[in-house]
């Protein structure tokens, strides 16, 4: 309904996407950085990232740096498009596009 994207609307995922779309398309963020930025647990962040990845909204890349596992995350073009549409739908709702006449 109303153009809101359920995958993005959930508060943690909204903040994940809002953070990722500000990056240059070729950049990515580190899992740990995102976890601290959003102040969530490993498990919580991991679960939300999985959902966004399953929807094709983000790309998750696991690698090793100095023998330590690292996870990098970036928004896909599809994710950026979905985020833009979601924000536009939100702005329409908040802007009173549904404004009723007084009864």
- Among 63, 67, 68, 103, interactor with its own copies by CB under 8 A: 103
CB atoms within 10 A of CB 4: 14
Q: Which is nearer to its own copies, 60 or 87 (CB)?
A: 87
Q: Between residue 70 and residue 99, which ones bind its own copies under the rule CB under 8 A?
A: 72, 87, 90, 93-94, 96, 98-99
- Among 22, 25, 42, 47, interactor with its own copies by CB under 8 A: 22
Q: Is the CB of residue 73 less than 8 Å from the CB of residue 28?
A: yes
CA distance 29 to 46: 14
CA distance 83 to 32: 23
Residue 46 burial by CB count (10 A; 0-12/13-18/19+): exposed, middle or buried? middle
Q: Does 28 bind its own copies (CB under 8 A)?
A: yes
* Positions that interact with its own copies (CB under 8 A): 1-2, 4, 6, 9, 11-12, 14-15, 18-19, 22-24, 27-30, 33-34, 37-40, 72, 87, 90, 93-94, 96, 98-100, 102-103
């Amino acid at each position: 309904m109303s153009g809101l994207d359920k995958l993005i609307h959930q508060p943690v995922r909204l903040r994940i996407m809002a953070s990722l779309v500000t990056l240059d398309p070729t950049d990515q963020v580190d899992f740990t950085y995102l976890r601290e930025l959003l102040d969530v647990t490993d498990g919580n962040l991991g679960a939300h990232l999985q959902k966004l990845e399953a929807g094709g909204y983000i790309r998750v890349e696991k690698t090793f740096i100095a023998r330590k596992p690292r996870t990098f995350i970036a928004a896909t073009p599809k994710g950026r498009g979905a985020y833009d549409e979601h924000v536009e739908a939100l702005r329409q709702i908040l802007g009173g596009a549904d404004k009723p006449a007084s009864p």
